Every structure is written in C-alpha cells, then in structure tokens.
C-alpha cells in the first residue's frame, strides 16, 4: 500500500517479560537464558506440564484483581508524558486475551469477583481507570498481530495530524484458558520450543509479556516505516503452503529497507511449517539478513509479542549486539538463521515480523532516526 | 519523514446491510441464514459468524478492500462453550472463540485473502473508534462490519451483549451511482458518546444524525 513507505517516530518504548524490563531481557537473551519452565496447564487443577514463562511471583491461577496488574503498573511508570486518552493523545490497547483468565476462574469457582476484568471492554475500562487515562482508548484484538495493528492505527492518527502523540500498550498474561487452548491444538506440549530448527515435531512455549510504544511526529530515537499487513484467510491455524502470505506481507517492508543492511527479527514460535515458510520468505526478501527469533526463551507472548520484541530490538541496537535464536536442539532451517548472537554495528535497520491465526501477517522496519 | 496525508474524515456510504435478530433463537437464525452459504459450510459457524458473514458477503469483499470489524464481545457463545469444555478444552471452540473469527469464518470459507483487516472491540466510544479507523484507512473502499451475539451465562455477569445483530457498510472515498449518504467526523468542542448498539440502530433506521460521539468529536450522517 502507498502508506507503507511512510514513517513515524518512536519516542519511547519498553516492555516487561519474566526477565524484567527491556534491558534486563536483552541481557538475559544475550546470556542464552531461557525463561520457560514446565507448568501444569490448568494451574492448581493440574494437567500436563508445558513450557510457560511467567512473570516471577505470578501464578497461572487467576486472582481478583488480576496479579498481572503489578507488571502493567511497573511498565506504566516508564511511559513518558501524561494526558493519555485525551483527544490529542489517544491510546490504543492491544492484546489477544485481555482478562480472559478471569472468565476461566469465574466459571470454575463461581466467584463473581473474577468477573470484573473479564471481557475486553470491561477489562480495558478497568485498566483505563487504573492508569488514569482519559476516554480515548481504542481496543484492538487480532490475536498475535494485535500489537502491529495498534502501531498502524496509532501511526495513522499521527500522520493525519489528528494527534500529537499516541500510546500503544499491549499485554497478554497467561491463564489456563490460553494454555489449555493451545494444548488442545497440540502445539503446546511437553517439548520445549526450538524455533527455526528442523526436528521431528514442532512445539511452542507461551510467555507473559507487555510492551508499549509512544509514537510521535518529529521526536524520537527510532523510525517505524514499511508497516505492512496481510491476511491469507486460508485456514484458521495454518498458512498457505506456498508461503505467499509471508512474502506478500514482507514486500512493503523490503521496499522500505532497500539500500539498507538489515537483520530480521521473525515470529519464530517453534512450529515447523510456519518456521520453514517464514525463513524461506525472509531469506528471499532480505537475502543478506541474519534471522533471529526469541520465543524459544521468552515463550510466545501472543498479542503483545510485536511490542515486546520491538522494545528488545531497540535495546539490542543500543547495545550493539543481537541475541541469537535460543531454543532446543536441531539444525537451522536455513543458512540465514542465526543461532548465536552477533554484533549489529554494521546494520542500519531491523525488520520485525509477527504472525497470527487466520494466516494474519504483520511487519515493519525499525531504524535509527 | 512526515507523510502528506489527506485528513478529510469523510466517506460516502455506498451500501448498508443490517440484520437484527430480535428474539430469534440461535437455531432459528441458523435455519434462516444457512441457505446463504455453501452446503455443509455452516456446521461450525457461530451465530455471529453467520450474521456478520452474510452481511459482509452482500458487499463482495475484495482483496484491496480494508475490513474494519467492530464487536465488543464477539463470539460469546463459542467462548461460553469453550469455558464449559474444561478440563478437556475443545480445540475447535478455542479457534472459534477468538475475537475476529466471525469475519474469518466467511473469508476463510471463501479463501479470500485481504491485506488490511482491523478487528476492534470497544465500549462507550466504540462508534468513534471504528469510524476513525475506517476513515483513516488509505483503501478506497472500507467495509465496516460488526455486531454482537446475545450471551447466556456471561450476560448474567454483564460480560456479554444482550442483543444479537450484525451490520456491514461500504464506505468509499469516491461517490458512485446509488450512493446512500455520507458520514463525516469533525473536531468540535463538547462531550458525547455512541456505542455499537446505538450505531447499529442508526444504520438500521437510516436515521440522520448530527452530534458529539466522543470528547472533541462530532459525527454527521446524511442519507440521500
């Protein structure tokens, strides 16, 4: 699309993961640490142990009010500026699960105190009140590309001059609801993920995560450009086997990156077919780019992954070193896959990509202003 | 780089489809709508999927259209059933209960790719947020669709819609023969709100409207 060449500046960004903030998360990834641990999928109700990465001190079992508010609060104090949710400073809240863990607890226990944060509108309204935002708070929910959609919508209010700055906040915290769902699909199992590696069977891990970005005109250390979406609408949980969905999405980001030397931060959950298709499409669109994915350590932070990994990518550029693709054993799916970390001083851009159910794809180019 | 972008928040309403299920049961709705879809394709479709899918299908979505999907609570009955399926959660209900699945049920059935698909939830300012997303899209034709389905036990907790309805509207930058009207957003002083139910009622009745729908935002709908 024409606007894929347009850019907006990232005035600030940050994240919270089980390792801590973006700098702490980067440091842990560079050390090759894995946040995933075996956890019973139904929490206190038991079930198979699967790889989950929970914020320290947080249980998979829901509390009322939700215990993930502490992590959101920790992130919130790092968001610069104020007056969020006013007409000139709108907020875009994105995610895939919101307070759905409360619905699970409500159904299991009958305790109505779990209802308060349950549905998307009620959860967001509670969050708005908790964080002291004004009323202009949009809610975006498109599974694991949700954060990218929030960035695009926020960019448009900036480009159009309707807002001076826009805040995108994305979060997803695990619960038996989501762990049970992915376990039912059989892609979350006792195996730990090995993104971008060939092996007998694929597996993912899931992780808690939240991130934010403040988008601005003319202010900010980072430029976001080449924002792109593509929805295959081929199958609820599978991609077209020719990889066309990946390549269609990456084309605008590749156009924006022309003439630059970039590295590629992919989606890389640990599923085999999607991993192979993504590696092939990335190698075609960015032939010289090292390909990395971090979900083998952090788990898949679902709707928040686009913002969580953007914040880590900016830290990696600042630090001059990109973490490799952490995960279990297996041979890399392509020559471009970087299993080890590398110095990124000679690169002048990062392409960040995410994918979701329904064959949804999203990507953007991140570069220094 | 700052982009030069037309900020005219106005589009022509080319087509509108509305469907208010009223007191119709899900089974009655399924019977009413199943003939609009290929045989055998509706077995796993939800009430909202059938209704939104039918309304959206009337507008023949194409690959260059942008689809903005607005639903506060989305697949409530699938969500309720998925929660009821524990401790042996259903993979099908997990997929179906995901927020934008109503549109995906149609589009995947048609194998119809689309570049821009923007699923939103919302509350008291939902009409404004859905319209702002629609009117800022660079696509010449935006299909703004959505709806709700009436919940059962979640409704008792205030976590579901009490109504079942669907709509789809074609919003275009260029006026074409048969245009029904115009929708316009402008900056203004004042407060206001307009939720999705009220937006649906405006579309269904084709009522003209001029008023504040969000703090600082005025909406006008004209029908020819």
Name the band, by pLDDT with cuts 50, 70 and 90, for residue A6.
Answer: confident
Residue B106 phi/psi, 5° resolution?
-70, -50
Spell out the SS3 assignment of A115-183: HHHCCHHHHHHHHHHHHCCCCCEEEECCHHHHHHHHHHHHHHHHHCCCCCEEEEEEEECCCHHHHHHHH
With respect to residue A47, please indicate whether it lies within any of the assigned structural domains.
yes
Residue A2 lies in a domain: no
Q: Is B224 exposed, middle or buried (0-12, 13-18, 19+ CB in 10 A)?
A: exposed
Task: Give yes or no for a contact between A123 and A101, defined as CB atoms under 8 angstroms apart.
Answer: no
Domain edges within chain B: 10-182+196-209
ipTM above 0.95, yes or no: yes
Closest CB to B117: pick one of A104, A184, A231. Answer: A231
Contact A2 B215 (CB under 8 A): no
Smallest Cβ–Cβ distance between B138 and the set A1, A86, A142 belongs to A1
Q: How confident is the model at residue B7 (pLDDT cuts 50, 70, 90)?
A: very low
Contact B108 A120 (CB under 8 A): no
pLDDT, tens digit, 9 for 90 and up, residues A318-367? 999 999 999 999 999 999 999 999 999 999 999 999 999 999 999 999 99
Burial class (CB in 10 A: 0-12, 13-18, 19+), A158: buried
Q: Which of A216, A238, A253 is the last residue of a domain?
A: A216
B interface mutation test: which of A113, A145, A231 has the most B CBs within 10 A?
A231
A153 touching chain B per CB within 8 A: yes
CATH number at residue A239: 3.40.47.10
Instruction: Note down the domain range covering A279.
Output: 224-368
Least confident residue range of A1-10, A226-235, A302-311: A1-10
Q: At what angle do helices A244-256 and A272-285 cross, to 10 degrees?
A: 30
Is residue B3 pLDDT above 70, yes or no? Answer: no
Cα–Cα distance measured from residue B161 to residue A166, given in angstroms and rounded to the nearest whole number = 30
Report how far apart, in Å, the C-alpha atoms of B97 and of each of A121, A187, B90 are.
16, 18, 10
pLDDT tens digits, A20-54: 999 999 999 999 999 999 999 999 999 999 999 99
A139 touches chain B (CB under 8 A): yes
Cβ <8 Å between B215 and A136: yes
Contact A138 B89 (CB under 8 A): no
Q: What is the largest CA-CA distance in chain B?
A: 55
- Residue ranges of alpha helices (H) inside chain B are 26-33, 47-57, 76-84, 91-96, 101-110, 126-135, 196-205
In the stretch 233-262 of chain A, residues with CB closer than 8 A to chain B read 233-237, 245, 248
Residues A190 and A230 in one domain: no
| Reported CATH class of domain B10-182+196-209 | alpha beta
Chain B residue numbers with beta carbons less than 8 Å from the beta carbon of A140 are 118-121
pLDDT at residue A4 greater than cutoff 80: no
Instruction: With CB atoms and an 8 Å threshold, state whether B117 touches A181.
Output: no
User: With a CB-CB cutoff of 8 Å, which residues 42-81 of chain B face chain A?
Assistant: 72-74, 79
Q: How far apart are CA A272 and CA A276, in angstroms?
A: 6
Claim to verify: residue A191 and residue A235 sit in the same structural domain: no
pLDDT at B41: 87
> How many distinct structural domains can be found in chain A?
2
Do the Cβ atoms of A209 and A305 come closer than 8 Å? yes
Beta-bridge mates of residue A139? A93, B121
SS3 of residue B39 by DSSP: coil
For tokens 């992780």, the residue is A207
Q: Which of residues 279-308 of A touch B (CB under 8 A)?
A: none
Which residues, at least 6 apart from B65, have a Cβ–Cβ distance to it below 8 Å? B114, B116, B139, B141, B142, B143
């Amino acid at each position: 699309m024409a606007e894929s060449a347009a850019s907006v500046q990232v005035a600030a960004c940050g994240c919270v993961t089980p390792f801590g903030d973006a700098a702490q998360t980067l440091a842990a990834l560079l050390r090759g640490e894995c946040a995933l641990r075996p956890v019973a999928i139904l929490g206190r109700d038991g079930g198979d142990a699967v790889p989950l990465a929970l914020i320290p001190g947080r249980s998979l079992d829901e509390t009322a009010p939700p215990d993930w508010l502490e992590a959101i609060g920790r992130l919130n104090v790092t968001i610069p500026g104020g007056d969020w949710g006013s007409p000139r400073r709108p907020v875009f809240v994105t995610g895939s699960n919101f307070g759905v863990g409360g619905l699970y607890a409500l159904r299991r226990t009958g305790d109505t105190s779990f209802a308060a944060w349950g549905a998307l509108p009620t959860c967001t309204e509670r969050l708005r009140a908790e964080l002291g935002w004004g009323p202009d708070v949009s809610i975006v929910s498109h599974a694991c590309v949700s954060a990218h959609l929030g960035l695009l919508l926020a960019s448009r209010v900036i480009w159009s001059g309707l807002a001076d700055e826009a805040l995108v906040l994305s979060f997803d915290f695990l619960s038996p609801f989501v762990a049970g769902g992915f376990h039912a699909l059989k892609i979350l199992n006792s195996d730990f993920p090995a993104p971008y590696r060939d092996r007998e069977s694929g597996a993912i891990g899931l992780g808690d995560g939240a991130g934010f970005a403040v988008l601005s005109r003319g202010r900010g250390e980072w430029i976001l450009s080449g924002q792109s979406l593509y929805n295959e609408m081929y199958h609820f949980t599978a991609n077209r086997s020719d990889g066309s969905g990946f390549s269609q999405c990456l084309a605008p980001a590749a156009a924006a990156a022309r003439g630059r030397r970039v590295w590629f931060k992919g989606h890389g959950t640990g599923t085999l077919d999607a991993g192979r298709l993504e590696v092939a499409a990335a190698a075609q669109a960015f032939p010289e780019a090292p390909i990395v994915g971090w979900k083998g350590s952090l788990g898949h932070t679902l709707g928040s992954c686009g913002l969580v990994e953007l914040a880590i990518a900016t830290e990696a550029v600042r630090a001059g070193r990109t973490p490799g693709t952490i995960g279990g054993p297996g041979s890399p799916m392509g020559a471009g896959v970087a299993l080890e970390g590398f110095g990124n001083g000679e690169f002048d851009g990062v392409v960040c990509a995410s994918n979701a159910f329904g064959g949804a794809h999203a990507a953007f180019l991140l570069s220094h202003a | 780089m700052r982009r030069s972008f037309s900020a005219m928040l106005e589009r022509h309403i080319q087509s509108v489809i509305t469907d208010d299920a009223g007191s119709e049961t899900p089974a009655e709705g399924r019977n009413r709508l199943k003939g609009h879809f290929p045989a055998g394709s509706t077995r796993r479709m939800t009430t909202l999927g059938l209704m939104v899918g039918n309304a959206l299908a009337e507008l023949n979505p194409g690959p260059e259209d942008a689809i903005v999907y607005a639903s506060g609570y989305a697949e409530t009955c699938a969500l309720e059933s998925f929660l009821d399926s524990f401790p042996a959660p259903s993979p099908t209900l997990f997929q179906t209960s995901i927020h934008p699945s109503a549109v995906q049920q149609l589009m995947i059935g048609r194998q119809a790719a689309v570049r821009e698909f923007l699923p939103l939830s919302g509350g008291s300012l939902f009409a404004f947020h859905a319209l702002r997303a629609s009117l800022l899209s660079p696509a010449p034709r935006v299909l703004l669709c959505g709806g709700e389905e009436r919940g059962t036990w979640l409704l008792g907790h205030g976590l579901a819609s009490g109504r079942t309805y669907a709509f789809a509207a074609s919003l275009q930058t260029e006026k074409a023969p048969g245009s029904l009207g115009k929708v316009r957003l402008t900056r203004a002083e004042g407060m206001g709100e307009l939720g999705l139910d009220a937006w649906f009622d405006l579309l269904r009745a084709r009522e003209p409207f001029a008023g504040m729908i969000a703090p600082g935002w005025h909406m006008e709908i004209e029908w020819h």
